[in-house]
Chain A
Amino acid sequence: MQIKIKNLSYTYLSKTPNEVEALHNVSLEIPEKKITAIIGHTGSGKSTLIQTLNGLILPSNGEVEVGEFKVTPNKRKNKNIKELRKHLAIVFQFPEYQLFEETVEKDVAFGLKNYGVKEVEAIELAHKALAEVGIDESFYKRSPFELSGGEKRRVAIAGIIALNPDILVLDEPTAGLDPLGSDIILKLIKKFNQEGKTIILVTHDMNIVLNHSDHVIVLNNGEVSFEGTPNSLFTKDVSAYSIEVPELFKFALSLKEKGLDIDISKIKTIDDLLVQLKERR
Chain B
Amino acid sequence: MKCVSINHLTYSYVKDKPVVKDFSLEINKGEYVSLVGHNGCGKSTLARLLVGLLVPESGSVEICGLELNNKTINQIRQKVAIVFQNPDNQFIGATVEDDIAFSLENMNVPREEMIPLVKEFAKKVGMSEFLTKEPGYLSGGQKQRVAIADSLVRRPELLILDEATSMLDPSGKREILSLVRKMREENPDLTVISITHDIEEAYLTDRIVLMHEGEMILSCTPKELFNNVDTISKYNLEVPFEIELKKRIADLGISISEDDTLDSIGEKLCK
Contact present for B39 and A175 (CB under 8 Å)? no
Shortest CB–CB separation between residue A173 and chain B, in angstroms? 14
- Docked pose: A259 CA to B269 CA in angstroms: 10
Shortest CB–CB separation between residue A44 and chain B, in angstroms? 9
Q: A148-B39, A179-B197 are in contact. Are A277 and B170 (CB under 8 A)?
A: no
CB contacts (< 8 Å) of A179 on chain B: these are 197, 199, 236-238
- Docked pose: A274 CA to B267 CA in angstroms: 16
Q: What count of chain A residues pass the 8 Å CB interface test? A: 31
Binary interface profile of A, 23-55, with partner B (CB < 8 Å = 1, else 0)?
Answer: 000000000000000000111000000000000
B188 within 8 A of A: no
Residues of chain B in range 221-271 having any CB-CB distance to chain A below 8 Å:
236-238, 241-242, 244-245, 248-249, 252, 262-263, 266-267, 269-270
Partner-binding segment picked from A186-194, A223-231, A243-251 = A243-251
Quick one: closest A residue to B239, CB to CB? A179
Quick one: closest A residue to B170, CB to CB? A244
Quick one: closest B residue to A260, CB to CB? B270
Shortest CB–CB separation between residue A257 and chain B, in angstroms? 9
A206 within 8 A of B: yes
Quick one: closest A residue to B244, CB to CB? A270
Partner-binding segment picked from B109-117, B124-132, B150-158, B161-169 = B161-169
Contact present for A42 and B39 (CB under 8 Å)? no
**A178 CB contact (under 8 Å) in B38, B139, B141, B167:** B38
**B40 CB contact (under 8 Å) in A149, A176, A248:** A149
Shortest CB–CB separation between residue B133 and chain A, in angstroms? 12
**A247 CB contact (under 8 Å) in B171, B197, B242:** B242
Shortest CB–CB separation between residue B44 and chain A, in angstroms? 10
Q: A177-B39, A181-B38, A274-B252 are in contact. Are A41 and B242 (CB under 8 A)?
A: no
B56 within 8 A of A: no
B30 within 8 A of A: no
CB contacts (< 8 Å) of A254 on chain B: these are 262-263, 266
Contact present for A180 and B139 (CB under 8 Å)? no
A278 within 8 A of B: yes
Contact present for B262 and A242 (CB under 8 Å)? no
**A177 CB contact (under 8 Å) in B141, B197, B245, B249:** B197
**B241 CB contact (under 8 Å) in A181, A242, A247, A258:** A247
Shortest CB–CB separation between residue A165 and chain B, in angstroms? 26
CB contacts (< 8 Å) of B244 on chain A: these are 270
- Docked pose: A222 CA to B37 CA in angstroms: 37
Quick one: closest A residue to B173, CB to CB? A204
CB contacts (< 8 Å) of A148 on chain B: these are 39-40
- Docked pose: A260 CA to B266 CA in angstroms: 9
Shortest CB–CB separation between residue A273 and chain B, in angstroms? 8
CB contacts (< 8 Å) of B171 on chain A: these are 41-42, 242
A281 within 8 A of B: yes
B172 within 8 A of A: yes
Shortest CB–CB separation between residue B226 and chain A, in angstroms? 13
Shortest CB–CB separation between residue A75 and chain B, in angstroms? 26
CB contacts (< 8 Å) of A43 on chain B: these are 139
Residues of chain A in range 236-281 having any CB-CB distance to chain B below 8 Å:
242-244, 247-248, 251, 254-255, 258-260, 270, 274, 277-278, 281
Contact present for A149 and B39 (CB under 8 Å)? yes
Q: A177-B197, A204-B169 are in contact. Are A260 and B269 (CB under 8 A)?
A: yes
CB contacts (< 8 Å) of B28 on chain A: these are none
- In addition to A176-B197, A255-B266, A277-B269, 17 A-B residue pairs with Cβ atoms within 8 Å of each other are A41-B169, A42-B141, A42-B171, A149-B40, A177-B197, A178-B37, A179-B237, A181-B38, A242-B170, A242-B171, A247-B262, A255-B269, A255-B270, A258-B266, A258-B267, A260-B270, A274-B248
A-B contact pairs, 21 of them (CB 8 A): A41-B169, A42-B169, A148-B40, A149-B39, A176-B85, A180-B38, A204-B169, A206-B170, A242-B170, A242-B171, A247-B262, A248-B241, A248-B245, A251-B241, A255-B266, A258-B266, A258-B269, A258-B270, A260-B269, A270-B248, A277-B249
Which are the 8 A-B pairs with shortest beta-carbon distances?
A247-B241, A149-B39, A148-B40, A179-B238, A178-B38, A204-B169, A242-B171, A42-B139
